[in-house]
Amino acid sequence: MSLLLATLDRPAPVLQILLGRDPALWVTLAWDVMLVMGVFLGLVSVIGFIAIWGERKVAGRIQHRHGPNRVGPVGLLQSLADGIKLASKEDLLPGRADAVLFYIAPYLAFAPVFTAFLALPFGPDFVFDRTLSVSLLWVLAILGVEVIGVILAGWSSNNKWSIYGAMREACQLISYEIPLGLSMLVVVLAVGTLDLLKLSEMQSHGLQHWLVFRQPFTAAAALVFFIASLASNKRAPFDLPESDSELVAGYHTEYSGLRFSLFYLAEYNAMFVMSGVMAVLFLGSWADPFGLIAHGYAKAIAGGQRWTPLLWNVAAAGVFTFKCAVLMFIQMWVRWTLPRPRIDQVLHACVKVMVPASLALLLGSAVWELVVAHGSMTERITQTVLAAAGVALVVATLVLIISAFIQGRQNQQRLGGPWPAGGA
Amino acid sequence: MAAALFYIFAAITLVGAIGVVMAKHIVHAAVQLLVALLGMAGLYFLLDAEFLAAAQLVIYVGGTLVLIIFGVMLTSHLGTRLMRVGPGETAIAVLTGLGLLAAIVTAIIHTRFPTPPPSVEPDVTRRLGVSLLGDYLVPFEIASVLMLAVMIGAAYLARRRPKDAA
Amino acid sequence: MTVGLPHYLVLAAMLFAAGIITVLTRRHAIGILMGIELMLNAANLNLVAFNRFSAVGKLDGQVFALFVIVIAAAEAAVALAIFLNFYNNFATVDVDQGNELKG
């Protein structure tokens, strides 16, 4: 029996609570299908609608205007109205576009984001796949597929602006995946698990257990992660793939109607997923700062109660969504505040600042865990000495590289050209 | 259930692989390669290699495939003519491939394989990490040196030359 | 019939054949690279399948597969850098055109 099948056969905890016993296999399967079809699709569209409304409201307030305020109370139904408008529009295909790729690209961009929800822990039991032990890596992996959808959208449109957008997306994403992964690794190194559920449980007993407070390095890694997640979601100031003041709309210039709205749904749900991952990695996941939910849930489970665990789960989902909402608000705030850099500046910031910074954080986190973590005295001393030697080696290499860099720059100034003479 | 899942993932992988062979345009081939890689990730899940499945997605799909498509975009555009060998060579190639396939399949049919162990092995990821930094420490370090060399080499090869600047 | 090692091996053989045919029939350099990726994947599938079915309690096959994935990524990076250079020099990525040293 493989692990994948174990996933399919396992009784869903929520289902167990509802039925009061182990459900039959077909009930579990039906439940899963219902979850995927109903809850996740519903969740995805509701998140999309509310986030788009929120973005326009935030943008309005920052620019000293009201934002949407006509449709529904405080304009809440504006997204729905826009959705209906988009759905009734013609689905255009540019004359010399690559039809097949043009049609599948929006789905390729949207489906992975939707799939990433499978791994997000909304509560102690509110997670689709409990047995996935590499859920953190899974989210990173599946969001990588989204990139391909975006690139193909830009390429298949056969439009110069779209291709520029797609190329920028490709190089930006490839670059920023490194600091993103490394900043995740800082946390993974500290706690030793890739499982989002375990990470959540670990932090559920109060503010002092939240991983952002575990080390100075994890706090810094949170910052790196946030910046890299902005870049991987194509959010301003890293919205170069669609930079609307230069490239019309970048990779989705040629899209209209429902396909266009799929890109929007994908973008806002990717924001939610990334915020969710950040909440799990650094900000205590579904736990409140006082550990009330974890305590109440544990007590309810121990007491053998039937409905109370479910209520605690709902509370946990509320807290989790609130954290995601706050993080998404910060992303919007950043978007409407900062100007957009050029693509070379974006890549410069990644390769020359973020990657070295996240590597240094990884090193620091490792040393911190060695020095502060438990272990016998001799072991600790040996490891510290070894670690110090490692750090010295790395610092020496860095100094070497920097001095070579400075040397090169001096050469360049002396020779007056971009390249030293004869230096092929 | 296991059999059904295997056949589904195998079908996805094969459709992708055949698509790579047949695709008219190189970007279509890249998309078919994506399909094949996703099918492979599913097969890895079936084989209890969760970490490998996720790593396959991160490195191949998120990295290598994006690089490939990026390379295609830099070197061609819509309507580039088909770059295939002539019909005679194609026939030889297909015969070679099918002949190899036949040879391997014959070998597989005539081999007696041990019966599969039924157990699920727990905690694969942790053990994988331990063996990477234990038994396989030297290959691991060599691989990291290789990556460094590749990084420098690729940057050197793709750098801007003086004549391009002029 | 339960799915066992031979099923995976046959599938891997098919993938490998597809990879070989791709490499032999395409003249587009990046297409050839894709064929190579297919072949490497076939080898990986073999490694992981053997690991699952005949090496109880060991993970050597998975470790090998991991190395293959990593080195394939490195290979793709270098290959693409070479192709870009090739494209700069010959204005094509048709490997048959790269015959300047031909006697």
pLDDT for position A423: 43
Indicate yes or no: CB of C31 within 8 angstroms of CB of B75: no
Q: Enumerate the domain spans of chain C.
A: 5-92
CA distance A136 to A211: 15
A140 touches chain B (CB under 8 A): yes
pLDDT at B163 over 70: no
User: B137 to chain C, minimum CA–CA distance in Å?
Assistant: 11
Residue tagged 């990076």 (tokens): C77
**Any idea what DSSP says for residue A354?**
I
ipTM of the complex: 0.85
8 Å CB contact between A161 and A150: no
Q: What mean pLDDT is reported for chain A? A: 79
Residue A132 tokens read as 């996935």
Look at residue A1 and tell me whether its pLDDT is greater than 80: no
Size of interface B-C (CB pairs under 8 A): 220
Q: For chain A, what percent of residues have pLDDT higher than 90?
A: 0
pLDDT value of residue A23: 63
Residue, of A14 and A298, whose pLDDT is higher = A298
Picking from C5, C38, C66, the nearest residue to B52 by CB comes out as C66
**What is the topology classification, in CATH, of domain B1-80?**
Four Helix Bundle (Hemerythrin (Met), subunit A) (1.20.120)
- Please determine, for residue B78, whether its predicted confidence score (pLDDT) is greater than 60: no
Stretch A213-225: mean pLDDT: 83
A279 CB burial (10 A radius; 0-12, 13-18, 19+): buried
B47, B50, B125, B156, best to mutate vs chain A, most A CBs in 10 Å:
B50
Q: Given a contact as 3+ CB pairs under 8 Å, which chains touch A?
A: B
Residues A262-280 pLDDT 10s: 888 888 888 888 999 999 8
Q: How far is A8 from chain B (nearest CA, A)?
A: 9
Average pLDDT over residues B110-128: 73
Q: For the stretch B17-39, what's the b/e string if a residue is b when 16 or more beta carbons lie within 10 angstroms of its beta carbon?
A: bbbbbebebbbbbbbbbbbbbbb
- The DSSP secondary structure of A56-113, one letter per residue, reads HHHHHHHTTS--S-SSSGGGTTHHHHHHHHHHTS-----TTS-HHHHHHHHHHHHHHH
C-chain residue closest to B149, CA distance: C74
Per-residue pLDDT band for B15 (boundaries 50, 70, 90) equals very high
For C32-69, how does the pLDDT look when each residue is reduced to its tens digit (9 = 90+)? 888 999 999 999 999 988 888 877 777 888 888 989 99
pLDDT, tens only, A305-360: 777 777 888 888 888 889 898 999 988 888 888 888 878 778 887 887 888 888 88
For residue range B130-157, list pLDDT tens digits in order.
Answer: 888 888 888 888 988 898 888 888 888 8
pLDDT of residue B120: 60
Cβ C41–B76 below 8 Å, yes or no?
no
pLDDT at B161 over 70: no
Q: What distance lies between CA A91 and its chain's CA centroid?
A: 30
Q: Is A64 exposed, middle or buried (0-12, 13-18, 19+ CB in 10 A)?
A: exposed
Res A6 pLDDT > 60: no
From chain C, the residues in CB contact with B138 under 8 A are none
Q: Which amino acid is at A73?
A: P
Task: Read off the pLDDT of residues A351-371 as tens digits, 9 standing for 90 and up.
Answer: 878 888 888 888 888 877 777
Q: Which of B64, B70, B132 to mutate to test the interface with C (most CBs of C within 10 A)?
A: B64
- DSSP3 helix / strand / coil % (chain A, rounded to 5): 70, 0, 30
Phi, psi of A314 (to 5 degrees): -65, -45
Across residues C72-84, what is the average pLDDT?
A: 86
Residue A207 contacts residue A213 (beta carbons within 8 Å): yes
- Please report residues of C whose CB lies closer than 8 A to that of B114: 5, 53-54
Between A177 and A123, where is the model more confident? A177
Against chain B, the chains showing at least 3 CB pairs within 8 Å are A, C
Q: Is pLDDT at A32 greater than 60 in this prediction? A: yes
| Residues B85, C25: C-beta atoms closer than 8 Å | yes
**Token code pair at residue C86:** 């090739």
pLDDT greater than 80 at residue B82:
no
Q: Looking at residue A252, what is its pLDDT?
A: 78
Query: Which residues of chain B make contact with A173, given a CB cutoff of 8 A?
Result: 62, 66
Lowest-pLDDT choice from A142-146, A294-298, A379-383, B95-99: A379-383
- What is the per-residue pLDDT across A233-265, written as a single tens digit (0 to 9) for each? 888 788 777 777 777 777 777 787 788 888 888
Q: What is the maximum alpha-carbon separation in chain C?
A: 58
pLDDT tens figures, A135-180 = 888 888 888 888 888 888 888 887 888 888 888 888 888 888 888 8
Question: Given CB atoms, is B63 within the 8 Å cutoff of chain C?
Answer: yes
Q: Which amino acid is at A142?
A: I
The interaxial angle of helices A216-232 and A160-191, nearest 10 deg, is 160
Give yes or no for A96 touching B (CB within 8 A).
yes
Distances (CA, A) of B98 to A384, B102, B108, C40: 58, 6, 15, 18
3-state secondary structure chain C: CCCCHHHHHHHHHHHHHHHHHHHHHECEHHHHHHHHHHHHHHHHHHHHHHHHHHCCCCCHHHHHHHHHHHHHHHHHHHHHHHHHHHHHHHCCCEHHHCCCCCC
pLDDT, position C43: 92
**pLDDT tens, residue by residue, A71-96:** 878 878 888 888 888 888 877 777 77
Identify which has the larger pLDDT, A301 or C15: C15
The predicted pLDDT at position B119 comes to 61
Q: How confident is the model at residue B13 (pLDDT cuts 50, 70, 90)?
A: very high
* CATH number, domain C5-92, options 1.10.287.3510, 1.10.1040.10, 3.40.50.1580, 1.10.1200.10: 1.10.287.3510
